[in-house]
Structure 1
Amino acid sequence: LKTRTAILPPIHTTIPDASPPPNFLSQIRRKSVFLTALIIFLAAGGFFGFRYMTTNASIKSIAVLPFVNVGDDRDSEYLADGLSENLINTLSRLPQLKVIARSSSFKFRGENIDVQDAARKLGVGAILTGRVVRRGDDLQISVELIDTADNTRIWGDIYNRKVSAALSVQEEITHAVSEKLQLNLSGAQERQMAKQMTNSPQAYQAYMNGVFFRRKNGAENIRKAIEYQKQSIALDANFARAYTELSVNFAALVEIGALSPQEGLPQARSAAENALALDETLAEAHYSLARVRDFEFDWTGAESSFKQAIELNPNLAGAHTLYAEYLSRSGRFDEALREVKRAQELDPLRTGLIGNEGLIFYHARRYDEAIVKKQIHASLAADNPFAHLELANAYVQKGQNTEAILSYQTSIKLEETTSALIYLGRFYALTGKHNEAIAILDKLKTTGKYVSPTELAILYAALGDKEKAFASLEKAYTERDFQLTSLKVEPGYDPLRDDPRFQDLLRRVGFP
C-alpha cells in the first residue's frame, strides 16, 4: 500500500488563481452587451412588427376619397373620379371590409383635406387618397393608404402608365390595398378581383365619361351619359358594366319624368338583362333590374333582385336604401328600418337617408319619431322643398296645424311643386277650409306641370269626392304611375280603404 501511494501525484492543498487575463474579460463583457442589445432589438422589432400586422389586420373599414386631378387638364377630371369610383366598387365586393359609399366619401374633394377629420366623420379605420397627373398620353397616379388611428402611412406607390393602361393600375391598387389590410381573400374573391372590366382602353374611357356625366344629374347630362355608354358597348359588346350604366341611365330618366315609363323601362330592363347575361355576379346589374321591376309592380321579382344585389355586394348603399323603401311600402317596417340603418352606416353623410328613416316612421304611423327625423332632415337640407313637405305631412297627422302650415309655406317658397300643392290642399280640406282646397284644385288643373294622378286622388279623398278619387287612381294604374306603390301605407288614402274598389286596386298593383 505504501508503494502504491508513493507513485500517486501529490495532492495540492491550495487553489490556484483561475482569473482570466484582463483583455479576455473585456471581450466577454463587450459580447454580453452586444448580445443583450441584439435581443432587445429583435424583441422590439418583433413587437412592432406584430403590432403593425395586428393593427392592419384589425382595420375593417375604408373610405376612398376622390383622387385629385392635378394640372391644367380639367377634361381629365373624369379619369380621377372614375378611378376613385371604380376602386370603391371593386373593394365593396369584399364582405369582410366596410367601404363607404361614393356620395359620402366624395364630399372630401381637394388637395388640402384633413384626413383625421374625414375619418372621424366617415367612421373608418383607413383612408385611400390619390393624385392623378396627365400629360398627353402619359399618366402618373400616386396613392397613399393611411391608418386613421394614428395618421400613419400604411402603404403608398406611384404608377407611371399610358392613359390606355389606367384600368390595370386600378387592379394593382386594389390588390395592394387588400394585401396591406391583410383581408385574406378567398379563391373566389381573388378571381373576382382579377376579373377585368374590359380589354378595350377606348371602351373604358367612354364608360368613365358616361359615369362622369350621369353624376352631374339633369336630363341633358344623363342623355350624354347614355351616348357614352352606347359608344362603350359598340367598342366592347362584352362590357357588362357599360350595360349596367345604360340601364341605370334609362331608369333615371323615367324617375325624373324626362322619359315615359312605357319608353324608358323596356330599355332599362333590356340593358340590365344584357349585363347579367355577361356577368351574373355583377351586383349593380341586379340592383338596376330591381329598380325596373319595382317600377313595373313586380314585387316578387324586385325583392329577389334587391336581395341578390346585397348578397353579392353588402356595401352597396343604394341597394340597401331602395330595398328599405320597398319594404316600407310593403308594410314591413322593422325590416325597412334595419335596411335604412345599414345604408346610413355605409353612407353616413347622405342627409336624405335621415329623411328616408322618417318616412318609414310616417308610413308606420309612428308620427312622433317621424317628426324627430324629419326635423333633422329639414334642418340639414334646408333648401330641399321635399324635406319640408314631408315634415309638414307628419305634423298634420299629429294635429300640429301651426307647425304644418309653416312647413308647407317653406316648401312652396323653395319650389312650388305639385306635390306640395296637393298636400296643402288636403290640409285645408281636413281643417275645414273647403274653399282654399278647391282653389288649389283649380290651380292644379291649369298649372301646365305634370300632376301625379295617384297624388291627386289624395286631395279628392280629403274633399270627400270618392268618385273622382277612384277615377284618378284608375288613370294612375293605366299610366303605371309609380306613386301607386305607396297605396298600402300612405295615410292620405285612409278615407278610401273601406271601399271594395280600393281593395281591388291593391290586388291589381300586386302588393305582397
Structure 2
Amino acid sequence: MSKQAELLADEAAHKTVELDDSLPEAHASLAQALANEWKWKEAEAEFRRSMALNGNSAATHYFYAITCLSPQNRIDEAIEQYRTALSIDPLSSIVNANYALLLLQVRRYPESLAQFQKVLARDPNFPPAHYKLSQFYANTGHFPEAVAELRKAFPKMNSASPDPKGYLELSMQIDDSDRSAAVADAAALAGNRIQAFEYLEKAYSSGDNELLFVIRYPALDPLRSDPRFKDLMRRLGLPD
C-alpha cells in the first residue's frame, strides 16, 4: 500500500470511529491503518478495543496477529491469535497460509511445511499459498521447489534455473512497489548483499507491507549485524 493510500485509509478509519465508537469493525479498520503506518502501540490499543466489543471476529484476531504482533516478534501471542482466528474460521486459506509463514519466520520448518501442504491440499489453485510456499522453499535451500512454486503463483513468468540466481531472476519479474521486500529476500539468498539492502530500502520507502514478514526470514540472518539493518529496524520501530 502506498503512503498516500495509507494516509487516506487512516483518515477514513478515524472518521468512522468518531462517528460511532461502538463499532468493532471501525476500531479494527483503524488498528490496521495504524499498523500499516508502524504505529504499534496505537494499533494494539485499537485491536484490543475491537476485540473487547466483539471477540468472535476471525478477521480481527488474524490482522492483530499478522500486522501487529508478528512484526514485533511477539510470537507466542501471534500464534495464540492465529489459532483463535482459525478456531472461528478454520477454512480460511489466507489465514492458514500466513500462519504457515509465521512458522517459517520462527524456524519451525516441519510445522510450516505441513501447514502449507494442508492449505494446498484443500485449495490447490490458491496463488498466495504457492507464492508463500516458494519463499519457504527458498529460505530452506530448496531452490528447484521454490522456482516451481513461484511459477505456479505467477504462471506467466519466464522459465529460470532452479538455483538462487534463477529464483532472484523470477522475483525481479514480479517486482513492483508491493514486492520489493521479496526481491530483497531473493537477493540475500543469492548472496547479493548490496542488492538486498537496496531493495529493503525500496520496500521501506514505498510502504511495502511484506517487509514486515521478510525482515524475520532466515535469508536475512547474515544481514542482522550490519548497521544498515539495525537502522532499518529502528525506523520501523521494531526490536532486532
1:409 counterpart residue number: 148
Kept after mapping to 1: 8 A contact 2:24/2:53: yes
- Deviation per CA, 1:81-112, whole angstroms, max 9, x where unpaired? xxxxxxxxxxxxxxxxxxxxxxxxxxxxxxxx
**Post-superposition offset of 1:267:** 2.1
1:321 counterpart residue number: 62
Would you say how many aligned residue pairs link Structure 1 and Structure 2? 238
Does the residue aligned with 1:270 lie in a helix, a strand or coil? helix
- Deviation per CA, 1:393-447, whole angstroms, max 9, x where unpaired? 3344445x3xx634642441352488x99xx88x722xxxx4x457547x63xx7
Question: Rg bigger for which structure?
Answer: 1
- Deviation per CA, 1:295-341, whole angstroms, max 9, x where unpaired? 11111111111111111110111110111113222222211111111
Whether 1:511 aligns to 2:238 is yes
Does the residue aligned with 1:482 lie in a helix, a strand or coil? coil
**Counterpart code for 2:235:** R
Kept after mapping to 2: 8 A contact 1:331/1:364: no
Q: Which has the higher strand share?
A: 1
1:292 counterpart residue number: 33
**Post-superposition offset of 1:460:** 2.3
- Deviation per CA, 1:253-308, whole angstroms, max 9, x where unpaired? x4xxxxxx233222222221112112212111110011111111111111111111
Task: Say if 1:395 and 1:482 are closer, same or farther in 2 by CA, change over 3 A.
Answer: closer
Kept after mapping to 2: 8 A contact 1:282/1:312: yes
1:428 counterpart residue number: 163
Whether 1:464 aligns to 2:191 is yes
Q: Which residue of 325, 343, 352 corresponds with 2:85?
A: 343
**Post-superposition offset of 1:485:** 1.8
Distance 2:149 2:215 in 1: 28
Q: Which ranges in structure 2 are unaligned for 5 or more consecutive residues?
A: none
Distance 2:147 2:55 in 1: 38
Distance 1:448 1:487 in 2: 14
Residue identity (%): 32
TM-score (norm 1): 0.43
Distance 1:390 1:331 in 2: 19
- Deviation per CA, 1:35-89, whole angstroms, max 9, x where unpaired? xxxxxxxxxxxxxxxxxxxxxxxxxxxxxxxxxxxxxxxxxxxxxxxxxxxxxxx
Does the residue aligned with 2:70 lie in a helix, a strand or coil? helix
**Post-superposition offset of 1:495:** 2.5
TM-score (norm 2): 0.86
Whether 1:302 aligns to 2:43 is yes
Task: Say if 1:268 and 1:315 are closer, same or farther in 2 by CA, change over 3 A.
Answer: same
**Counterpart code for 2:227:** P
Task: Say if 1:348 and 1:365 are closer, same or farther in 2 by CA, change over 3 A.
Answer: same
Q: Which has the higher helix share?
A: 2
Provide the aligned C-alpha RMSD in A. 2.8
Does the residue aligned with 1:292 lie in a helix, a strand or coil? helix
- Greater RCO (CA < 8 Å, at least 6 residues apart): 2
- Deviation per CA, 1:474-501, whole angstroms, max 9, x where unpaired? 2222222222222441223222112111
Task: Say if 1:387 and 1:397 are closer, same or farther in 2 by CA, change over 3 A.
Answer: same
